[in-house]
Amino acid sequence: MATAELAGKHLVLGMTGGIACYKIAELTRLLTKAGATVQVVMTDAATQFITPVTMQALSGRPVYTSQWDARVPNNMAHIDLSREADAIVIAPASTDFLAKLAHGMADDLLSTLCVARDCPLLVVPAMNRQMWQHPATQRNVAQLRADGVQVLGPDSGPQACGEVGDGRMLEAAATYEAIASFFAPKLLAGRRVLLTAGPTFEPLDPVRGITNRSSGKMGFALARAAQQAGAEVHLVAGPVALETPWGVFRQDVQTAQQMHDAVMHAVADADIFIGVAAVADWRVDHASEHKIKKTADRALPSFAFVENPDILASVAKLPHPPFAVGFAAESGDLEVHGEEKRVRKNVPLLIGNLGPLTFGLDDNEVILFEAGGATKLPRADKQTLARALIAEIAKRLPDTSLIR
């Protein structure tokens, strides 16, 4: 999550009764950390699972639980609390509350707020699998979707009752991601994005290999930003220890050849290709099948190298290439090498990392090279930069009707 990703957003976070209330403590922390202001409203049932005191401490605002609460100046909490809200999020949303929403009932503060709102409504269901599957619940959820309500989840897996199935509330982090995604401008709606990220690993023998210090952070941040911008995202990742961004299809590979094959297999479906991976230029010709052992005479092993395929150049060479974007990390003279590399790779846009020390760091500074010249973007954390880069890419896309 980027710092202040939700700065300026005001959310009414409505909690209804369910054991998943414990997840809302963490969700509130994530939302406030991202800059959102969070006004918690709880039903009576929710207060049986977690106290308003806890939620007040985490949100930094007094919690409302009653329609008759006189703290709102004109005594109209059911109207006033949602007027400044950018969205109402109901989490956890119980079976009962979904039913009430679907029927427009307004018999407590939270349900009345939802009916009286003029902002989007997001619900995050949490219930036993049989309650979720019940035809009445499914009917209510279908009705809510038809009414324009966003339904986030539910997840599948073990439940507090001991059963396993659909109905678990999304984890706090996934709920956060879905909310952040909801607010992101849909600059890539309907587009399909293919990316490579991370390093590659070229084996020398079954236990050793050649790799590099790419952490994958920039590529994963771009995959997340593209997903949030409404794209369908396929991420081909080298060996990295990063979580898959929410809603992104991830394919793990080890070697440059595997990354090349995965990309070539998927590229026909892509409107945009972004080569962020630090792909090894060479691999060992015939890696040893067995672990290379030290010999009695301590002779040093030697290796013959062969060149790996250039994935970005192969994509750019296709008869109908997607809009292809490359990255470049140079150890000097980026201004000169960046444009030269863009032309050599035959891509419309090449993003140059300023300074070789970006590997593994959380922030970055880049220059965009394109036929019309070079543009520098301000230094920022990689998530913020990824959003800016996705906006820059979206601006440069040919009209959808002209894409292949």
The residues that are catalytic are: 161
324: contact with ligand C5P by CB under 6 A = no
Q: How far apart are alpha carbons 371 and 252 in whole angstroms?
A: 33
326, 338, 348, 352: which one binds ligand C5P (CB under 6 A): 326
196 CA to centre of own chain: 15
C-beta closer to ligand C5P: residue 143 or 346: 346
255: contact with ligand C5P by CB under 6 A = no
Q: How far is the CB of 202 from ligand C5P (least distance, A)?
A: 11
Q: Which stretch binds ligand C5P (CB under 6 A): 9-17, 128-136, 174-182, 276-284?
A: 276-284
Q: Is 341 annotated as a binding residue?
A: yes
11, 99, 277, 380: which one binds ligand C5P (CB under 6 A): 277
209: contact with ligand C5P by CB under 6 A = no
Residues 44-83 close enough to bind ligand C5P by CB under 6 A: none
C-beta closer to ligand C5P: residue 77 or 279: 279
Residues 178-197 close enough to bind ligand C5P by CB under 6 A: 196
DSSP 340-404: HHHHHHT-SEEEEESSGGGTT-SEE-EEEEETTEEEEPPPEEHHHHHHHHHHHHHHHPPPGGG--
327: contact with ligand C5P by CB under 6 A = yes
Three-state DSSP class for 273? strand
256: contact with ligand C5P by CB under 6 A = yes
Binding letters toward ligand C5P, positions 78-117, x by CB under 6 A: ----------------------------------------
C-beta closer to ligand C5P: residue 179 or 267: 267
Q: How far apart are alpha carbons 234 and 219 in whole angstroms?
A: 11
Which residues on adjacent β-strands are paired with residue 235? Answer: 195, 250
- Tokens at 122, concatenated: 């997001």
Residue 81 Cα distances to 11, 94, 115, 124, 343, angstroms: 10, 21, 12, 20, 55
311: contact with ligand C5P by CB under 6 A = yes
- Tokens at 204, concatenated: 């020398």
**Phi, psi of 368, rounded to the nearest 5 degrees:** -95, 125
Q: Which residue has the tokens 């299809």?
A: 249
Three-state DSSP class for 50? coil
Q: Which stretch binds ligand C5P (CB under 6 A): 35-43, 230-238, 323-331, 386-394?
A: 323-331
- Eight-class DSSP state of 268: G
Q: Is 281 annotated as a binding residue?
A: yes
Residues contributing to the annotated binding site: 281, 291, 309-312, 327, 341, 345
Give residues in contact with ligand C5P (CB under 6 A). 196, 256, 275-277, 279, 281, 308, 310-312, 326-328
